[in-house]
């Protein structure tokens, strides 16, 4: 296994539970650093699914620690990315554990919209997720996700086009999501 810096595209990071159900842990967007674990000799505890076509920069694990020592700006950037990922994970855990199902869906979509927009303001801000991705990220059924997305679409808060979801009214979605802060800097 190597280390990867995601340059373009979306990736779902997941684990399978003992019952065989997939739990999506996070969505990697451009700029994410994937595969870094404290102990390089251990296997990763998660898998990765490319949701879209992706481009990555590959870093071999051998010599990676030396690379970090010889390039302090790269080390600082990695520390920032690890800290950001921890913050995203904590926010996701709070979302799944304390919000209604409809608020969870709205929060996830708005969080991803903000992350995608902050990645590069010139990028397309549509979200390339399926109902299965949303359900697996939030511990919901695809039927419930489908019904909720339909209601949000009927309220003109989002649209689907060409297999992608686009948020039309982020402020209104934020009210439903109980979204009281900007997720990332």
Residue ranges of domains in the chain, CATH in brackets: 3-177 (2.60.120.10)
Give the model's pLDDT for residue 124: 61
Give the model's pLDDT for residue 119: 65
Q: How far apart are CA 48 and CA 16, in angstroms?
A: 11
pTM: 0.85
Give the model's pLDDT for residue 180: 65
Indicate the angle between helix axes 142-154 and 101-119, nearest 10 degrees: 70
Per-residue tens of pLDDT for the chain, all 185 residues: 688 889 999 999 999 988 888 999 999 999 898 887 766 667 677 889 999 999 999 988 888 888 888 989 988 988 888 888 888 888 888 888 888 899 999 999 999 998 888 765 545 678 999 999 999 999 999 999 999 999 999 999 999 877 789 999 999 999 999 886 654 43
Identify which of 120, 119, 6 has the alpha carbon closest to the alpha carbon of residue 59.
6
Rg (CA), the chain: 17
- Pairing relation of β-strands 164-167 and 158-161? antiparallel
Q: How far apart are CA 83 and CA 79, in angstroms?
A: 6
Give the model's pLDDT for residue 181: 60
The DSSP line for 9-43 is S-EEEEEE-TTS-EEEEEEE-TT-EES--S-TTSP
Long-range contacts, stretch 72-80, CB < 8 angstroms, 24+ apart: 78/33, 78/36
Give the model's pLDDT for residue 97: 82
Phi, psi of 35, rounded to the nearest 5 degrees:
100, 0
SS3 at position 4: strand
Give the model's pLDDT for residue 183: 47
């Amino acid at each position: 296994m190597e280390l990867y810096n995601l340059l373009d595209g979306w990736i779902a990071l997941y684990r399978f539970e003992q019952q065989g159900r997939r739990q999506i842990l996070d969505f990697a967007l451009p700029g994410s650093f994937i595969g870094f674990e404290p102990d390089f000799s251990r296997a990763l505890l998660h898998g990765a699914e490319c949701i879209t076509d992706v481009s990555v920069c590959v870093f071999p694990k051998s010599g990676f620690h030396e690379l970090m020592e010889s390039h302090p700006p790269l080390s600082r950037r990695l520390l920032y990315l690890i800290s950001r990922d921890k913050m995203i994970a904590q926010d996701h855990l709070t979302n799944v554990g304390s919000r209604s199902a409809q608020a969870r869906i709205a929060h996830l979509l708005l969080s991803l919209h903000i992350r995608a927009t902050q990645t590069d303001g010139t990028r397309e801000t549509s979200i390339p997720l399926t109902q299965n991705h949303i359900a697996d990220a939030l511990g919901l059924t695809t039927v419930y996700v489908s019904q909720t997305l339909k209601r949000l679409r009927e309220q003109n808060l989002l649209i689907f086009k060409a297999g992608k979801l686009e948020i039309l009214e982020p402020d209104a979605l934020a009210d439903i999501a109980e979204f009281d802060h900007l997720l990332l800097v």
